[in-house]
Amino acid sequence: MTDERSLEEKQADERYYEVLLSLFLTDGWKQLKEEFTKNFLDLNKVTNVKVEHVDYVKGQLNILHNLINLEESTRFAIDQMNAGDDNEIN
C-alpha cells in the first residue's frame, strides 16, 4: 500500500495533532469539556423538547457530542495515521 501524501502533508498532519494534544492538557479544555457534557446531558432529556424543536436540539447534541469526544477522536486518528506509517515500513 503506497501513501500518496507528501512529507509536507504528513508533517502538517502531525503538527495539527500535536497542537490538539497540547490543548487537551489545559485546564481550560477540561473545564469546557465538563460544560459541554453538562449541556449535552441537559439537552438529551427528550421529555423537555417540543416537537418543533427536535431537529434543532439534535443538531446541538451532535455538535456537543463531537466536542466532548474530540480528544478521543484525535487520539484514534493519530493511531490510524501511525498504523499507516507502520504499514509503509513493512
What is the number of other CB atoms lying within 10 angstroms of the CB of residue 64?
20
Over its length of 90 residues, how does the chain's per-residue pLDDT go in tens digits?
445 778 899 999 999 999 999 999 999 999 999 999 999 998 888 777 788 888 998 899 999 999 999 999 999 999 999 887 766 654
